[in-house]
Amino acid sequence: MLAPRADVAADRAESRDKASGYGDWTAEALDTMLRDTPRLGLWLDSSNQAADQTVEEIIRRADEALVRSI
């Protein structure tokens, strides 16, 4: 799960050419809901990373992303 801070997610969405994918949700409301869900797999705060850095970290931490049956 890419989980940048809500303010960073909102800024990134605003900077894109297309409309926000949040629909009726605010970035803050979505962030609150996501942070209340169980943490399965890799959760990555990409707030301070460029896209290429995020990709590199996901690859480096791929084992953490595996979700095993419970």
Return the pLDDT at 15: 83
The predicted pLDDT at position 16 comes to 79
pTM: 0.76
In this structure, which amino acid lies at residue 17? D
Half-sphere exposure of 49 (CA within 13 A, CB side): 15
With respect to residue 34, please indicate whether it lies within any of the assigned structural domains: no
Query: How confident is the model at residue 21, as a pLDDT?
Result: 62
Partners of 2 in the beta sheet?
44
Q: Where are the beta strands (DSSP E) in the chain?
A: none
Residue 28 lies in a domain: no
The per-residue pLDDT for range 9-22, each reduced to its tens digit, is 888 888 876 665 66
State pLDDT tens for residues 27-70. 889 889 988 999 899 999 999 999 999 999 999 999 999 998 76
Total domains present in the chain: 1
Single out the residue of 56, 63, 58 nearest to residue 2, CA to CA.
58
Q: Is residue 23 a part of any domain in this protein?
A: no
The C-alpha R_g of the chain, in whole angstroms, comes to 13
66 domain-assigned: yes
